Amino acid sequence: MEKPQWSEREEKGEFGQDYVRSIIKSGWRGLVQPVEGVRDRGIDFVVLDVLRSSATGYQFNIQVKTSDYGLKYRGDSFPVKLERKHIELWRDSNVPVVLVCVDVGPPPVAFWKLIRPGENVKSIRMERGYVLHAASRDAVIAEILRAFPKPVQPAMGEVLDFPLHSGIRDCAKNYYYQELMKRPQPHPLFGPIEFTWKGWRHLTRRSRSLWKILMSLQLLPSVRAVLDGGGRLFDKKVF
């Protein structure tokens, strides 16, 4: 009796999907739902982002392509052979689509690229610097947030209420150390944000004008409201 067989293409495809699934489930602790039904729809997985065992509300689709990219191409980037209908599907989607190309190796390695909405592309090149691994979750989510910004609602914060008989600097310093440094602020992308004395030094550095320092200190009580408001992140700096 003839036994069922897989073609080399099917075997590579299964390997690539399993490889990507294991990164997201085991490395990111994310939830992965395969797209069932007709094959080659242009979407393999739906991913629900999870941060520290809590769903963040961010969701995106993944399409996996698997090949011997390391043998076929050299350099910092390589082209990916794709059907035009799939590129147009991803480009016009209102749900973020991440293309992942798995090089079977050995060792295997996966590269990712976010397909931006409305992007006029006839072909796609993958950058070897964008490696999908257990620690790349923050980079992928940050790229999605830049390309698919949520409407920013005004943050209703407060200003520092300080006694007239004491200076604003002493009052602000006490608020910073007692209210901000002792209570980390949760954030959907980076997790708990901790405030340190270096942040205080940055706010009050001598190179800033007195007016800017006073404005920053007076707005300290609004910090939590701004972070809770889910504002769009453009850049980050660690102190």
Per domain, the residue ranges of the chain are 8-147, 168-228
- The CATH number of 8-147 is 3.40.1350.10
Reading the block at residue 33, the tokens are 């739902």
Whether residue 28 is predicted with pLDDT greater than 80 in this model: the reply is yes
Whether residue 180 is predicted with pLDDT greater than 60 in this model: the reply is yes
Supply the DSSP symbol for 119. -
Q: Is the pTM of this model over 0.85?
A: no
Average pLDDT for the chain: 81
Strands 109-115 vs 131-132: parallel, antiparallel or unpaired: antiparallel
Whether residue 29 is predicted with pLDDT greater than 60 in this model: the reply is yes
- C-alpha dist (Å) from residue 52 to 27, 139, 189: 12, 16, 11
- SS3 at position 196: coil
Whether residue 235 is predicted with pLDDT greater than 60 in this model: the reply is no
- SS3 at position 20: helix
- pLDDT band for position 156 (50/70/90)? low
Q: How does pLDDT run across 102-122, given as a tens digit for each residue?
A: 998 889 999 999 998 877 677
Q: State mean pLDDT over 139-152.
A: 82
Supply the DSSP symbol for 185. B
Contacts within 8 Å (CB) and 24+ apart, 89-93: 89/42, 90/42, 90/61, 90/63, 90/115, 91/115, 91/116, 91/117, 91/118, 91/119, 91/121, 92/117, 92/118, 93/61, 93/117
Q: Which carries the bigger pLDDT value, residue 49 or residue 121?
A: 49
Contact in structure between 187 and 228 (CB atoms under 8 Å): no
Q: State mean pLDDT over 65-83.
A: 85
Q: State mean pLDDT over 3-19.
A: 76
Which residues are bridge partners to 100 per DSSP?
Answer: 64, 112
Percent residues over pLDDT 90 in the chain? 20
Whether residue 187 is predicted with pLDDT greater than 60 in this model: the reply is yes
